[in-house]
Amino acid sequence: MAGFGKDSTTDEVLAGIDLHGKRVVVTGASGGLGEESARALASKGAAITMAARNPEKNAAAAARIRETVPDAQLETRELDLASLASVRAFAKGFLAEHERVDVLLNNAGVMACPHTTTADGFEMQLGTNHVGHFLLTGLLDPALGAGSRVVELSSGAHGMADVDYDDPMFERRPYHPWISYGQSKTANALFAVELDRRLRPRGAAAYSVHPGMIMTELARHFTEDTLKEMQEMRAERAARHGGAAEESPPMEFKTVEAGAATQVWAATAPELADRGGSYLANCTVGELGGDIAQSGVAAYALDPASATRLWTLSEELVGEALFG
Ligand SMILES: NC(=O)c1ccc[n+]([C@@H]2O[C@H](COP(=O)([O-])OP(=O)(O)OC[C@H]3O[C@@H](n4cnc5c(N)ncnc54)[C@H](OP(=O)(O)O)[C@@H]3O)[C@@H](O)[C@H]2O)c1
C-alpha cells in the first residue's frame, strides 16, 4: 500500500494520476467533501457530474471549483436522494447523455436530523443515505463497466448501530438520531460489500469510506441534546477500547482536503484494485475490530450475510430488482 495516512490530502493522493477521459458522478457535490472531491478529481482531468438537490448551491460550488481549476469539465444536475422519483429522473437524464461511469461517488448524506420521512415514506437518514443511493447505483448499473468504481461514504459512526431488520424505519421503536445515522452508515458499508461481489465479474469494484471528522455543514442538525448523546456514545465506545468510561475522547478534526482524501483514493488508487468490498479510512484499509474512531471497522458492517439481506430489503423498498 502507498504510504498515505490520516493527514494526506486530496492533491497528495492524486499526484501522478491522470483522469482525462474519465467520467465521475459525485452526489452531494454542492459543498463539503463532495465539492472538494469534485475539485480534486477535475484538476486531474476527470469530467465531473455534480449531482445535488439544490441547483443554486450546486452552481455556486461549480463556480468555486472553476476559480481554482479554470479548465474543469463540470456539469451540474439535480438529484434529491430523498425522492425515488427524483433519482429516477436524474438517472434517465444522465443516461440519455452518457454511456459510462468510471467513478460513482455516493457521497451525499444527512446526519442526526429530527425524525422525518422522505417523499416515499422512508425514515430520512436510511432513506437518503442508503435507499436513494441504492436506487441510483442500480439505475446507473448499465454504465458501470470494467475498471469502474463505486465509492460509498460510510462513517466511523457505523459503530453506533447495526441495521435493525425488524424495524429499519423506526416504526415501532423510538427514534434516536444517532442510532438512525449509525444504521444508515452501516448500510453504506454493507452495500459496498454486496455490490462489490456483484460487480467483480465485470472487473468493477465497490468500496466504503470513513473520511474522518471534518467541520462541514453535516452538523447542521446538531442541538444540545444530539451533541450530548453523541459525546455519551463516543465515551461508551472509548471505554470498550480501554479508555476511561466517563470521558468522551477529544475530537480530532481534519481539514476538508484531508477529509476528502480517502474517498478520492478509493476512487482512483491502483493499489486498491484487488481490495474491492473494503472499508477504508485514513487512506488505508480498515482494521477489522479496531478502534472505529481511527480506521477500525465493526464486523457487522462487513458481514456478507447481512449485506445480502440488506440488498433484498433495499430491492423491496425501491420496488424493483436491480443490477442485471
Ligand atoms: N464531515 C464529517 O465529519 C463526516 C464524517 C463521517 C462521514 N461523513 C460522510 O461524508 C459525506 C459528506 O458529508 P459532508 O461532511 O461533506 O456533509 P455536507 O457538507 O453537509 O454535504 C452533504 C451533501 O449532501 C447533500 N445532500 C443532503 N441530503 C441530500 C438529498 N436528499 N439529496 C441530495 N443531496 C443531499 C447536501 O446537499 P445540500 O447542500 O443541499 O444540503 C450536501 O451537498 C456524508 O455521507 C457523511 O455522512 C462525513
Mean pLDDT of the chain: 95
Q: What is the rounded distance in angstroms from the CA atom of residue 196 to the CA atom of residue 215?
A: 30
What's the pLDDT at 248? 66
Number of H helices, E strands in the chain: 11, 12
> Which residues lie with the beta carbon below 6 Å from any ligand 1 atom?
27-28, 30-34, 52-54, 57, 79-82, 107-111, 128, 153, 155, 210-211, 213-214, 216-218
Residue minimizing CA distance to atom 8 of ligand 1: 155
Q: Where are the domains of the chain?
A: 10-318
Contact call for residues 189 and 208 (beta carbons, < 8 A): yes
Q: Is 287 helix (H, G, I), strand (E, B) or coil?
A: strand
Please tell me which residue in 165, 175, 181, 300 is annotated as part of the active site: 181
Its CATH class, for the domain covering 10-318, is alpha beta
| Amino acid present at 96 | A
> Cell 501522478 maps to which residue?
16
Contact call for residues 221 and 114 (beta carbons, < 8 A): yes
Is 181 an annotated catalytic residue? yes
Burial class (CB in 10 A: 0-12, 13-18, 19+), 6: middle
Q: Residue 235 pLDDT > 90, yes or no?
A: no
DSSP-assigned letters across all residues of 180-196 = HHHHHHHHHHHHHHHHH
Q: Is 279 helix (H, G, I), strand (E, B) or coil?
A: strand
pLDDT in tens, 53-103: 999 999 999 999 999 999 999 999 999 999 999 999 999 999 999 999 999
261 or 243, greater pLDDT: 261
219 CA closest ligand 1 atom index: 20
Cα separation values, 191 from 51, 63, 131, 290, 307, Å: 20, 33, 10, 21, 6
